[in-house]
């Protein structure tokens, strides 16, 4: 781009001008004027260079480029006008979304408060709960543990955190001998690799992996996830801030989920849409993908990647029981015997049970026997204050989850409850009436907002294509910089990103609802039906070749050709074809 000093020097030294030289001066002035409001050439100087063409051919070019300069000023004003409308539309959508979402939250508020019941109802529900507890106790008493399963439940955290044991020595009731055995397993290889492979393939047909790297599809998007996974996301998708990589990646995946649910509501569940979205945006993270078991696997890796995650899987302990017992004793006998002695040292009464269990897969005892041996974790009677076995178990099915999460309030009589119900019902009627009255008007406003945003994107994309054509036509290499003169476009991009952030965060807040019952899911669908994320990168207008753009500009800016800024922009937006094109 020229500066004021360069223009002055050119005017002083040049006796005649070519079309390209004039184009460079005028386009430079257009760029500086649009960015700063100042000119690098006066109107008198423009008149001077226009009146000093090198020859008649250059005179025609100077005329055409001068008319282009005038039209560009009008085009710029059109773009900025549409940008202002688009930014106002984004603000309208953001405010509307906030109001709509708050209305949904208000309707859900009643389900997020303690359930109001009478004293008579509480008495009935507590009776149901006592019956539930009695049945649960009977079932728990009959549950059994094997020697191995008892140790797996007791020792899993100890084994997986073996490198940190010196820092938490008081946390685990294990001997130093057991810790040394586990540590030694990190360098000891499995001896019977053939049996180990058969066991591994039976349990994990797709392969094995580090349990600390295992994630559900839900975790891959919403977390929590291993730091190595977020680092892989940051590297693959170019996120400079690793701490926010999962957040930005989650938004990308949520956007795809959103589209799938929006356009295919009857075809996809939330989980199906999540799976498809992850397939579209995969993460190269081999550590989080099952791999075939290596031939040189260590005893520690086999213990943490096969035995521990597999001991609860159906079919493990009734498969080749004798061979499996022999394998466990041959490979892990030192640990099993040492950990057994640790358990007996902590709970001496366990010795009788362990003496009867000769092999790892032999029954150690039922929960009642283990509890009577001093192991509190096997108390057959659940605590009334526990989340899993609380009083909510005695309530009707349709309110169990509400009571579990928010509790209940007891009133002496039904008067206060009925008054509150009447208030909520009448309030819902008013809320629904208001929503109904505003629905059509609000829909029109939202449609108008989306239409204005789309029209702006069409205009802006046409302008970008026009600049590409101007560069090819004038030969001005710096013409690309003219794309960045719009003050409204950076603002629009920022506002669009903030709107998308808002809609994805609100939608993320509804992700549990999307997996809930039909009524709750319908409320989430309402949000999907009304609000659509903005995609500034969407290619809307047809592509025009440089040849087609050049021919269009040459024809448009010939002397006597009718032209205006709107006609130019609309022509490019509709797509141009060069002579001879199909």
Burial status of residue 7 (CB atoms within 10 A of its CB: 0-12, 13-18, 19 or more)? buried
Q: What does the pLDDT read at residue 244?
A: 84
- Report residue 176's pLDDT band, with 50, 70 and 90 as the boundaries: confident
Q: What does the pLDDT read at residue 376?
A: 87
Q: What does the pLDDT read at residue 436?
A: 47
- Report residue 508's pLDDT band, with 50, 70 and 90 as the boundaries: low
Q: Residue 224, preceding bond cis, omega within 30 degrees?
A: yes
Q: What does the pLDDT read at residue 412?
A: 73
Which residue, 224, 226, 208, is CA-closest to 285?
A: 226
| C-alpha angle 412-417-421 in degrees, rounded to nearest 5 | 175
CA distance 10 to 4: 10
- Report residue 338's pLDDT band, with 50, 70 and 90 as the boundaries: very high
pLDDT > 90: percent of the chain: 30
Which residue is listed with tokens 């509790």? 407
Backbone dihedral region of 29: left (phi > 0), alpha (psi from -120 to 50 degrees) or beta? alpha
Token readout for 534 is: 């903005």
Q: What does the pLDDT read at residue 492?
A: 92
pLDDT of 392 over the 70 cut? yes
Instruction: Say which range, 189-193, 195-199, 232-236, 523-527, has the weakest mean pLDDT.
Output: 523-527
CA distance 21 to 11: 11
pLDDT tens digits, 66-100: 999 899 999 999 999 999 999 999 998 888 777 76
Q: Which of 107-116, 316-325, 559-568 is predicted most confidently?
A: 559-568
pTM for this one? 0.53
Q: What does the pLDDT read at residue 170?
A: 56
pLDDT > 70: percent of the chain: 83
Across 364-368, average pLDDT: 90
Which residue, 80, 30, 144, is CA-closest to 488?
A: 80
Across 355-371, average pLDDT: 90
Q: What does the pLDDT read at residue 107?
A: 62
Q: What does the pLDDT read at residue 434?
A: 42
Across 296-300, average pLDDT: 94
Across 303-319, average pLDDT: 73
- The bridge status of strand 144-146 relative to strand 408-411 is unpaired
CA distance 254 to 189: 44
- Report residue 396's pLDDT band, with 50, 70 and 90 as the boundaries: very high
- What's the mean pLDDT when you consider all of the chain? 83
CA distance 242 to 247: 10
pLDDT tens digits, 403-449: 888 888 888 766 656 665 665 555 555 445 444 444 566 677 788 89
Q: What does the pLDDT read at residue 6?
A: 87
Instruction: Say which range, 2-16, 217-231, 306-320, has the weakest mean pLDDT.
Output: 306-320
- The bridge status of strand 408-411 relative to strand 115-118 is parallel
Are residues 394 and 128 in contact, defined by beta-carbon separation less than 8 angstroms?
yes
Q: What does the pLDDT read at residue 418?
A: 65
Q: What does the pLDDT read at residue 430?
A: 43
């Amino acid at each position: 781009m020229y500066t004021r000093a360069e223009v002055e020097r050119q005017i002083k030294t040049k006796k005649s001008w070519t079309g390209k030289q004039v184009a460079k001066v005028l386009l430079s002035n257009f760029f500086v004027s649009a960015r700063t409001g100042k000119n690098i050439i006066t109107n008198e100087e423009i008149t001077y260079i226009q009146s000093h063409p090198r020859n008649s051919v250059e005179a025609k070019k100077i005329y055409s480029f001068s008319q282009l300069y005038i039209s560009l000023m009008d085009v710029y004003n059109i773009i900025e006008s549409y940008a202002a409308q688009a930014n106002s539309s984004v603000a309208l959508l953001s405010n509307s979304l906030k109001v709509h979402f708050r209305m949904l939250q208000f309707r859900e508020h009643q389900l997020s408060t303690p359930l109001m019941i009478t004293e008579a109802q509480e008495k009935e529900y507590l009776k149901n709960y006592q019956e539930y507890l009695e049945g649960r106790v009977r079932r728990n008493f009959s549950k059994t543990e094997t020697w191995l399963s008892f140790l797996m439940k007791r020792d899993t955290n100890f084994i997986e955190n073996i490198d940190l044991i010196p820092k938490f020595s008081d946390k685990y009731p294990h001997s130093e001998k057991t810790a040394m055995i586990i540590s030694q397993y990190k360098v000891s290889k499995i001896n019977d690799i053939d049996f180990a492979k058969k066991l591994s393939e039976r349990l994990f047909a797709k392969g094995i992996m580090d349990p600390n790297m295992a994630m559900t599809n839900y975790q891959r998007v919403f977390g929590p996830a291993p730091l190595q996974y977020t680092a892989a996301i940051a590297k693959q998708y170019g996120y400079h801030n690793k701490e926010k990589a999962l957040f930005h990646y989650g938004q990308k995946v949520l956007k795809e989920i959103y589209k799938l649910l929006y356009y295919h509501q009857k075809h996809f569940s939330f989980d199906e849409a999540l799976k498809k979205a992850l397939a579209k945006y995969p993460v190269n993270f081999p550590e989080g993908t099952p791999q075939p078991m290596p031939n040189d696997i260590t005893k520690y890796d086999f213990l943490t990647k096969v035995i521990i995650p597999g001991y609860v899987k159906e079919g493990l302990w009734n498969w080749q029981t004798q061979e499996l017992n022999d394998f466990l004793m041959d490979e892990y006998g030192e640990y099993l015997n040492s950990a057994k002695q640790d358990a007996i040292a902590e709970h001496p009464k366990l010795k009788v049970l362990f003496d009867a269990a000769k092999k790892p897969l032999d029954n150690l005892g039922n929960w009642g026997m283990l509890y009577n041996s001093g192991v509190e974790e096997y108390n057959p009677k659940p605590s009334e204050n526990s989340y899993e076995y609380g009083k909510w178990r005695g309530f009707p099915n349709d309110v169990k989850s509400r009571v579990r999460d928010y509790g209940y309030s007891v009133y002496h009589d039904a008067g206060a409850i009925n008054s509150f119900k009447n208030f909520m019902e009448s309030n819902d009627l008013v809320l629904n009436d208001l929503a109904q009255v505003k629905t059509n008007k609000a829909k029109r406003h939202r449609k108008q907002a989306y239409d204005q945003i789309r029209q702006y994107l069409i205009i802006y994309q046409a302008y970008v294509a026009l600049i590409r054509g101007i560069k090819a036509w004038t030969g001005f290499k710096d013409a690309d910089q003219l794309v960045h003169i719009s003050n409204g476009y950076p603002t629009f991009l920022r506002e669009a990103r903030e709107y998308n952030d808002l809609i994805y965060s609100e939608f993320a807040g509804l992700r549990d609802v999307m997996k809930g019952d039909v009524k709750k899911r319908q409320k989430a669908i309402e949000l999907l039906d009304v609000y659509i994320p903005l995609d500034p990168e969407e290619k809307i207008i047809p592509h025009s070749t440089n040849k087609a753009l050049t021919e269009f500009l040459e024809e448009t800016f010939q002397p006597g050709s009718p032209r205006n800024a709107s006609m130019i922009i609309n022509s490019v937006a509709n797509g141009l074809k060069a002579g001879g094109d199909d």
